[in-house]
Structure 1
Amino acid sequence: MPRTTSGSATEQAYRHVKRLLLDGSLPGGSMTSEGEIAEQLGVSRTPVREAFLRLETEGLLRLYPKRGALVVPVAPGEADDVLDARLLVEAHAAQAVVRLSDTELATLVALLRDLVTAQEAAVADGNVAEYATLDARFHAEIVAAGGNGLLTGFHATLRERQQRMIAHSVRWDPGRATTFVDGHRGLVDALELRDTRTYLRRLHRHLDDARVGL
């Protein structure tokens, strides 16, 4: 087996811990440690320490010498800021999506319905991490289909924050995931009919549902 380099071990640790942060496995306010993560990955503490420093610069961890790392909770008001930004971007994207060709729209709708089906399966399995990932991808696909590269890139910067907030919300109240899945299904139905007005009304309600309890 090839020897793992320090750089690749650091990247492995970074991706592993970040996934735990985004999917809610390490919720805001909880503590973790270099030793705990090193044991999970079978690596030394050095690459984990480097990964922790990187995550601290991203505002996800706060490091305390000899005590470990605190998972920084979502800041007050951050959820509202993210959801307001998403509303603007996703509403704009929808107006472009309904102008796609029949073939392009049908392809997008099929993909979105597959994602909704996968979300339902994740909810049934109680897999919060998978649901949060699928939720973020659902909205990202609609924005990407809008064809504005700058807005797609901006939306991507919101995706990690969105994924973390949704995972937190669903973990504390699993029933909310069912409401979100129903909301997604309604959004797809409106896009398929090229009904922008209904889509925007449902998007407002969907994001308002997400806002509650965050």
Structure 2
Amino acid sequence: MTISAAERAYAYTKNRILRGELAGGDRLSEGQICTELELSRTPVHEAFLRLEAERLIRLSSRQGAVVTPIPISEAADVLEMRDALERTAAARVAARRRDPGEVAAALRGPLDRQEAAMAAGDVDAFVEADTDFHATVVALSGNPIAAHFFDLLRDRQLRLAYAVLTSTELALSETLADHHEMAARLRAHDADGYGVVLDRHLARHQGLL
């Protein structure tokens, strides 16, 4: 399947923003992206309009395009929503007594990918697997509406995760250890225990933002 020029420009620029290669406050020109992707101005302009609608950049006649910083309030709001959705998901898994083998099988993929990414020093792959782990927990609840809302937060979660996990103050091993403990609590139908680990996990991230 061939993607359009506008989609290429959008995906390329968005990925750089989410990964922190383009930091909050950085100026970005359409001409720069045109040159890097060998595209004409029109599809890049369309991509910029789309990124502005998602509040990843700001457009103005004076400054052009500027990458929107992650507001502290937004970071707190995203983490609050994650907490609510995941805590509810853990409670539903416990209440429904989901088969521990099914829970383990569902979470094995993201955990294995994080193990491999950490061993290879691949932060990009680690962050993707990190987000997938939490999304899988919500999916295990069997609530498609919750899974949908969690998915709507994905871009903001990825950007936060890159900001936190590229900090020298937090080792990838700490995040992975939390995930293994969360998985164990979920298999044991221990929703309260899961909540305790989740509190620590999110508080650590909040403290680095």
- Normalized against structure 1, the TM-score is what? 0.87
Q: 1:66 to 1:41 in 2, by over 3 A?
A: farther
Q: Which amino acid aligns with 2:28?
A: T
Summarize the Cα distance change of 1:180–1:107 in structure 2 as closer, same or farther, 3 Å threshold: same
Match of 1:22 in 2: 18
Residue pair 2:103, 2:186 contacting (<8 A) in 1 also: no
How far off its partner does 1:63 sit? 2.4
CA-to-aligned-CA distance 1:139-198 (integer Å, 9 cap, x gap): 111111111122222212222111101101122327432211111111011112222221
**Do the aligned residues in 2 keep the contact of 1:113 with 1:185 (CA within 8 Å)?**
no
Q: Quickly say closer, same or farther: Cα 1:68–1:126, change in 2 above 3 A.
A: farther
C-alpha root-mean-square deviation of aligned residues, in Å? Answer: 2.2
- Aligned to 1:172, the other structure's residue is in SS state coil
Equivalent runs, 1:114-129 vs 2, <5 Å: 114-129=109-124
Tell me if structure 2 keeps the 8 A contact 1:132–1:167. Answer: yes
Q: Is the 8 A contact 1:190 1:196 kept in 2?
A: yes
Q: Contact (CA 8 Å) 2:97, 2:189: kept in 1 or not?
A: no
The aligned residue for residue 44 of structure 1 is: 40
How far 1:75 sits from its partner (Å)?
A: 0.9
The share of aligned pairs that are identical, in percent, is 39
Gaps of 5+ in 2: none
Q: 1:80 aligns with which of 58, 76, 79?
A: 76
Q: Is the contact made by 2:103 and 2:187 (CA closer than 8 Å) also made in structure 1?
A: no
In structure 2, do the counterparts of structure 1 residues 161 and 118 end up closer, same or farther at CA, with 3 Å as the change threshold?
same
Q: Measure the CA separation in 2 of the matches of 1:47 and 1:174.
A: 39
Matched, 1:191 2:183: no
Matched, 1:31 2:27: yes
After superposition, the C-alpha distances for 1:38-96 in whole angstroms (9 at most, x for unaligned) are: 23323222211110111112110012448542211101211111111111110110112
Q: Match of 1:112, as an amino acid?
A: L
Partner amino acid, structure 1, of 2:103: L
Question: What's the CA shift string for 1:83-119, capped at 9, x where partnerless?
Answer: 11111110110112232442xx423322313312211
1:52 aligned partner, one-letter code: F
1:12 alignment counterpart: 8
| SS in structure 2 at match of 1:77 | helix
Q: Which deviates more, 42-51 or 57-66?
A: 57-66
Alignment check: 8 A CA contact 2:175 2:201 kept:
yes
Q: State the secondary structure of the residue aligned to 2:4.
A: helix
Q: TM-score, normalised by structure 2?
A: 0.89
Equivalent residues in 2 for 1:49-64 (5 A)? 49-64=45-60
Q: 2:97 and 2:32 mapped to 1: Cα distance?
A: 49
Any unmatched runs of 5+ in structure 1? none
- The answer to whether the Cα contact below 8 Å between 2:56 and 2:67 also exists between their aligned partners in 1 is yes
Opposite residue 45 of structure 1, the aligned amino acid is R
Call closer, same or farther: CA 1:26–1:123 in 2, change over 3 Å: farther
Deviates more, 1:203-212 or 1:63-72: 63-72
Aligned 1:154-165 pairs, distance under 5 A: 154-165=149-160
